[in-house]
Structure 1
């Protein structure tokens, strides 16, 4: 058997010494740490030295503060100078802008009326009066069938066949466009496609010598005296001085839609002589008889009426000029010298007639634009009335209007010794 180990006992004095060792060492370390910290504590300073030091620090702080204040003040001054300069520049620009006269356009109806319409005695009478049906107004008979079945109108393509139009669908379409507040272009496009058709264009020489109309969209035609297309003159009126801006208008007129006569109703060999009597655009069209303007429903009617009025006055004055130069006489003939206009604001329409004011010695004294009727295309009744008026105006334009233009052209050419028997 292995021998047993003998347990040895540590003396009590040794144990007491071991227990005391850590405490003794810790106390020594604390004392050492305190001694080191005491060494880092600065010795008390002199009061005068402390005051001198704080005086230097305070002086430096004041200097830095003064520099910062001066810098901020300089920046503020520069900012004020810049803002004052900008304000002065803006004020100068505003004064120049305010001193610059507003442009003379029908879109500014009051200014346009005072400076352009009134000096030329162009009157727009918007008074609502009782209206006649179109057949009663034109003193015509209602055709038994479509308009192209009437004599001399079998070739015309601008007439509307009311039997083939879906009147209810047209009214609903207009109602939907009004509800959704569609733009002017939507109304103009739909109306042009539905009511204001154009002839199929053909540059081949005509064979039937019948009058046709040409639909022109946004056609620009500025006055040119050498082309026999004249601006309505300023009329000298007693006790009414002429405005200084009466001659500033550029006559940049762009009707949304207009109907002119086509020269295809004339002998092509004589069109060059017709150009010497009245305005003919590119040997193609002459003497407009209907002007149409479209505007948004939420806009003032005055702008659209003014735009249609100045375009109609320009066309009517040139029709009257041809009549006056031809030497035609008789109030019966003068009654046919008129121009028609239609103004659409959304689905609502107004039809106008423009007639010249003629003095006793047969001189132009301005013109007057008067209401004929009005309607609403959101109702079937309003659509039917519009179709009837469109057809009757075309019937007048391709009939009595075209006949009167041809008569006056012949009379004027005869006065120059031109043989007119082959003009037709």
Structure 2
């Protein structure tokens, strides 16, 4: 049984926020509709939520209510019994929930806590009833996105299937991907850059196929080589990236002030989208950021000619940018974003930190995308042994600037 403090916290979070991925409100006055069970299914499947909360008896805003409002549940016992039975019988895997009853405005509200299933039990979907049910039109598997619940297509399940088999998302080979999606000019660029940092690297003598095989970026299926997600992100053509991974881009936004502005006409000065492979993208974005940074004026003693230095050290920009693309969760259909405000630079990506924020300075390295990281390490774009954060702190301190701030949101950790 959920404690009152936890339920009230969830309710107030819903009331005070406009978009919360792991909290949903439903009217459910006398019965449980399809949408309630769809939300239960989506919470149980979603790895980026950990647990989800469903408030029954709380209705969405309408013409008479600016915010969510308490509509109440009439028959609490019936709703709870039906919900428990549905969680045991409607899905191919039983879903574990907890519940509690909250008194609000002299009405009853049921708060349901849906726990994420373990990787081996996913994906969870509705048991087919002739595929005529509202809950079963494509796959019967529901997931949770930024805009609510949606029935997953096969391509929406790659990350769950990869987790089930013990793989990361970057290892997945998309069905439509082919060797023709690899850009030979990008491979040639890699060879030139690799030769600069290590001229005697043995892989420089490999064929293009053997080179990508050595990085585990392509896989042979029925005698045909096909790139995985990491291979596309690192060496794919711009056309292939737009076709297979349309949201795997980075948006650079130059804002006019020091805060995000909701009015789209006054929000930013300009924006630019980057869609090319990572080993080309990183230097280009780095150059754009540095060109956009103010410079220090410096005139050393006994010198006649001044020198201009960027306010933000280039090494810091490189480390922040590489960390953003290297640790991003590419299974999330959400572009990375760089916001250049007047007084700071903010970088955001999908996912959450695999290490606690207070352990980011430790020497141990924990990487979400090891295949991508391996290539970036070889090109000396990324620091090894987890030293990147410490390098950023040291360079900022040396430049007389404030320390970097890090934020990680796994939406809500289940107590």
TM normalised by structure 2 equals 0.24
Bigger CA radius of gyration = 1
TM normalised by structure 1 equals 0.23
The structure with the greater share of residues assigned to strand is: 2
| Greater RCO, 1 or 2 (C-alpha within 8 Å, sep 6+) | 1
The structure with the greater share of residues assigned to helix is: 1
